[in-house]
Amino acid sequence: MPGMKNARNAYENLSVDEDDAIARAPRRKPRRMPTFQRNVLAVLVLMALCGYSLFHYRHLPKTTDPNPSPPPASVVADATVIAPLPVNETQGRPQTLPECMGPDNLIDEAVATCRFGKNQRVVPGSTAQGMVSARYMSQYKAQQQMHQPRLAAAQFIESAVVSQWDRKRTYAAEWVVSGNQIDGTSVCRNWRRGSIEYRECRKGAKVHFKEQCKRLAESIIRQHYCSAASGFNPLG
C-alpha cells in the first residue's frame, strides 16, 4: 500500500508541474500575411473586377436614338471644268510609214490614217489608185526617194564569152560598166587574179572589145566597147 501512495503522489506532482508549465508558457500570436502577398492579392482582385466590368458592359445591348439627327450637308465646291485638248495637240510625233505598215506591206486606208492622221482626205478630182489617192502616192514616193542614197552613176555587170588568142579555148568573162564606161580593173573579175586563166581571159576580152566596136552600129553600147578597145590594157 505504501508503494501505491508514492506513485500517486508522484503523478500528482507531475500533473502540477505540467499545468504550471502550460500556465507559464507565452501565448503565440497568430501569424499575419506578409505585406507583399497582400498587395499581390489586392492587385489580382482589382484586375478581376475590371475584367468582369469590361465583359459585362461590352455585351450590353446598344441603345439606338429614336430620332437620329440628319448628317450635315456636304458643301461641294464648283469644280473647274477642264476642256479636252484638241486632237492635234494630244498626238505626238507622226509615225513613219514603216511603223504603220503591217507584215503584209499593204498600203490601205488604215495605214494612211496612221501615217497622216484622221484629217487626211482625198483631193476631189484626183484619180485614185486602189484605196490610196494619187496625192498620197506622190508623198510616199517623195519620202522613199529622200531615204534612198543617190547613186553617182548607173552600174551593172556585163558578161560575155571570149576566146583565147589562138581560138583553142573560150572563157566566160565579167566586167562592171559604170557611167557607160567599162571598168578595166573589173574585167574577168570572175577569175582568180594572177592566175593563167585570169591573164588569158583579159587578153581575149581585149579582142572582144575591138570586135564589138567594129561590128555594132552607132549606139551607147558601142561607145563603151570602143572606149575599152582603145583604153583597156589586159596586162594592167
Query: How many CB atoms are located within 10 Å of the residue 112 CB?
Result: 21
State pTM to two decimals: 0.37
pLDDT digits 0-9 by tens, 54-84 = 777 776 666 555 565 655 554 444 445 555 5
**Nearest one of 131, 95, 98, 130 to 115, comparing CA atoms:** 95
pLDDT digits 0-9 by tens, 93-140 = 667 767 776 766 666 777 777 877 765 455 454 444 455 567 777 776
- pLDDT score for 188: 95
Q: Is the dihedral of CA 213, 215, 216, 221 positive or negative?
A: negative
Amino acid at the residue 57: Y
Integer Cα distance of 223 and 204 in angstroms: 19
Burial class, 49, CB count within 10 angstroms (exposed 0-12 / middle 13-18 / buried 19+)? exposed
pLDDT digits 0-9 by tens, 4-53 = 555 555 555 555 455 555 555 555 555 666 788 888 888 888 888 888 88
Q: Is the dihedral of CA 145, 147, 150, 156 positive or negative?
A: negative
Three-state secondary structure readout of 6-59: HHHHHHHHHHHHHHHHHHHCCCCCCCCCCHHHHHHHHHHHHHHHHHHHHHHHHC
